[in-house]
Amino acid sequence: MTTVVSGAQIAAARALTGVSQARLAARAGLDLQTLRQLEANGHGPLDVTAEVESVLRALDDFGVLFIDDGDGFGSGVRLKFSRKEAKAIGAWEDEGGIVGDDDVP
């Protein structure tokens, strides 16, 4: 996943999904301070690092779609799903047990 993304987009994506910094950091396998530093970078593009890639994967899991800068409208974020679907997915994600890979092909 090689998307040009900014710290502001990560913060906006997190706010859009209602996910806390602590939860996103845990899902991405990062410490909280690393995520805070990424978000604090503002509107400039972040270098593509393993940390950024893991945050993007985690946000993808939460249903975020990053919008590239194009057609003069600028970059942004939106949900892949409707709010109702995203809320249901969030509830399913929090149901008991250890998070693991699906066995479904």
pTM: 0.72
| Domain of residue 34, CATH code | 1.10.260.40
Using the structure block, give the residue that is written with the tokens 């057609």: 71
The answer to whether position 102 is within a domain reads no
Q: Print the domain residue range for 77.
A: 7-93
| pLDDT, tens digit, 9 for 90 and up, residues 63-73 | 898 887 776 77
Give the total number of structural domains in the chain. 1
Two tokens at 92? 């399913």
The answer to whether position 49 is within a domain reads yes
| pLDDT, tens digit, 9 for 90 and up, residues 16-46 | 989 999 999 999 999 999 999 999 988 878 8
Beta strands in the chain (DSSP E): 64-67, 76-79
Separation CA 23–CA 46 (nearest Å): 21
Residues belonging to the chain: 105
